[in-house]
Amino acid sequence: MEYEVLHRRGILQILAGTGIGSPLLHRAIAALMDEQEPLTIDSLKRAEWITDAPLDADQRTAVLGAVNRNRQQIAALRKLPLDATTPPALSFQTVAGPPTRIDILRNAQPIENVAGPRPKTDEQVAFLPLTELSALVRSRKITSVELTNIYLDRLNRYSPMLRCTVTVTKALALRQAEKADAEISAGIYRGPLHGIPWGAKDLISVPDYPTTWGIPHFKDRVLDQTATVASRLEQAGAVLIAKLSLGALAMGDMWFGGKTRNPWNPKTGSSGSSAGSASATAAGLVGFSLGSETLGSITSPAKQCGVTGFRPTFGRVSRHGCMPLSWSMDKIGPICRSVEDCALVFDAIHGADGHDATATDRPFQWPTNAHISDFKIGYQRSSRNPDRPRPELEILKKLGCELVELGPPPEFENYRTLATIINVEGASVFDTLLRDGHTEGWNDWETIFQSAQFVTAVDYLRLQRLRTQLMNDFEEYIRPVDALVNVFEIFHTNLAGHPSIVLPREFRDLRRGDGQRAIPVTLTGHLNDDERLLLLAHQFQNQLSSHLKRPALDDWLAQFEAGELDPKTDTESSDQKEGAESQPSSEKTPKKQSGK
């Protein structure tokens, strides 16, 4: 009998349909393939030997027959146009389930809404929390255009050193600022974000400007689409001033412009992947920013850069118009100076939009009527140093909270392999780019996505079923308390969809004059209990002043301009890819590409 050949790609999907052999056998068969070598009877026999799963002659014939019958169909499917942002027909849902449709009011206001005097210097203005900037703009002690120009000057001065900006949207920002000033002068006030400049992680699409996803292939690509979060902030009167850097395809802090730096110590990276959002906010280059998180991409750079980062419950904010990495895990959230800033931004962007099937409408009110005096807060005792001082616990006691000691979060063997879900979903998102060879500057994604091609559909669904088990176990773990403090459960909360917020408790000097390091606190709440979590974090932060501190940027800038930073940072890490020094682009005319 003469058999047609099958190339390596797509073999796993087809083999799974035969019902013959195990997933291990299927992967072994696929591992024998490459672009030039066909699948033969001898190849099948080698795969059987590797997996100790012998097939008889009829089964071998069935496997190859099924492969050949499906080959043309699979090839035809791959030729159909499919935009990277098109989600699958299945949508992830948290344990909490879908809500009843409600009206979103979006009437949040700062708890204290009285304008103080305008600070004497532009630097002092730039580092004010959103709540204070809002009062100054509302009372016209500073105009939106003045505020926008302060941030534009700072972007021009510090962004080349920090590598935190992909594109400065100067023309758009000034138009929006002028509109805000005209509306406020006419008595039209849209709320606390009106006239405040903000920065978007450069996976959030806006028309007329590049949305690069941090990779060279999309350096000049413009999507003819406005992301829901960008549209809602525009409706709130906010002023988009910059597209901020992200690690390539949402990995780390390395993008085609280089490594985004931490303003507190520019000899180090800002962490990622919301690298530019955290760096620019910490450096006072924007009034606030938006980031995204799949597995730590808001909370990690917020910790590193000493800012306040809020990752909402999965599904509270639409991802429409934003680059997907994992449809079942991506979240959009604010990175700000203070917790209350995060609450005001969250109020403007949360809720369903009819585009993202996972986005839901749930109540949110700020200021909230909730109180925390009877909160139970779960914590873990350190196994290495159980008697060490815990300042964060003392603050919570002072606020009247009850502390409840918990054991470690629930685990099952090799639970971290659930991160494979991200790899598989991401491999599907970027499959066309991968197959076309557009993988320059992808950090480690190329290998990860190639490997993910060999995870069977059966195994992917098994991972999601194990995820359900983890979600239920974690729900039981957190049930006895209202929130967790410094229980580092990044896998659990991202897989289950729980909200978390990170804020700086203090800054400590580093040795050898290497700046300062933020000491963060992480608070985690119940599903869709974002309002009470923000209240707890806000009252906790009111006991501190660390979030108001400013990094010594001019000292670092002098070193940068003298060429003393790059040689010490860009060659130290062997796993860091080369990246040319990149000035932020502004008002360039990129090539158009329509977006769906």
Q: Is 273 one of the annotated active-site residues of the chain? A: yes
- In angstroms, rounded to a whole number, what is the distance separating the alpha carbons of residues 433 and 440? 10
Distance (Å, whole) CA 303 – CA 502: 7
Burial 409-428, CB ≥16 within 10 A → b, else e = bbeeeebeebbbbbbbbbbb
Measured between alpha carbons, how far is 262 from 300 in angstroms, rounded to an integer?
Answer: 12
C-beta of residue 305 within 8 angstroms of C-beta of residue 271 = yes
Summarize the confidence of residues 218-243 as an average pLDDT.
Answer: 98
Query: Which pLDDT score is estimated for 572?
Result: 36
Q: Spell out a b/e string for 240-267, using b for 16 or more CB atoms within 10 Å of the CB, else e.
A: bbbbbbbbbbbbbbbbbbbbbbbbbbbb
For residue 396 the two structure tokens come to 């919570």
At 367 the pLDDT is: 97
Residue-level pLDDT at 400: 97
User: What's the pLDDT tens digit per position in 328-342?
Assistant: 999 999 999 999 999
Q: pLDDT tens for residues 250-309?
A: 999 999 999 999 999 999 999 999 999 999 999 999 999 999 999 999 999 999 999 999
Greater confidence, 2 or 587?
A: 587
Establish whether the linkage from the previous residue to 139 is cis, with ω within 30° of 0: no
Across residues 368-383, what is the average pLDDT? 93
Contact predicate 333/534, CB 8 Å: no
Which pLDDT score, from 0 to 100, does residue 24 have? 53
Considering the candidates 144, 159, 245, 273, report the single residue annotated as catalytic: 273
Greatest CA separation found in the chain? 88
Q: Is the pLDDT of residue 358 over 90?
A: yes
Tell me which residue of 277, 271, 247, 266 sits closest to 566, measured CA to CA: 266
Half-sphere exposure of 434 (CA within 13 A, CB side): 20
pLDDT of residue 69: 53
Overall size of the chain counted in residues: 596
For residue 595, how many C-alpha atoms fall within 13 Å in the half-sphere facing its CB?
Answer: 26
* CA proximity to 250, closest of 416, 430, 91: 430
Q: How many CB atoms lie within 10 A of CB 220?
A: 15
CB 171 within 8 A of CB 296: no
243 is catalytic: no
- Whether 297 is a known active-site residue: answer yes
3-state helix, strand, coil in the chain (%, to 5): 40, 15, 45
| pLDDT higher than 80, residue 569 | no
Confidence at 408, pLDDT banded by 50, 70, 90: confident
pTM given for the model: 0.87
Catalytic, out of 297, 318, 326, 585: 297
| CATH top class, domain 123-410+460-581 | alpha beta
Which pLDDT score, from 0 to 100, does residue 39 have? 60
Give the pLDDT mean for 535-541.
98
pLDDT over 80 at 449, yes or no: yes
Whole-number Cα distances in Å, 566 to 154, 462, 516, 553, 562 = 21, 46, 19, 16, 10
**Residue 586: what pLDDT?**
47
Single out the catalytic residue among 170, 201, 243, 303.
201
Task: Work out the average pLDDT over 475-480.
Answer: 96
Domain boundaries, the chain: 11-79, 123-410+460-581
Kind plus residue range of the DSSP H or E element containing 168? strand 165-168
Start-end of H helices in 381-519: 391-398, 420-429, 431-435, 445-452, 457-478, 490-496
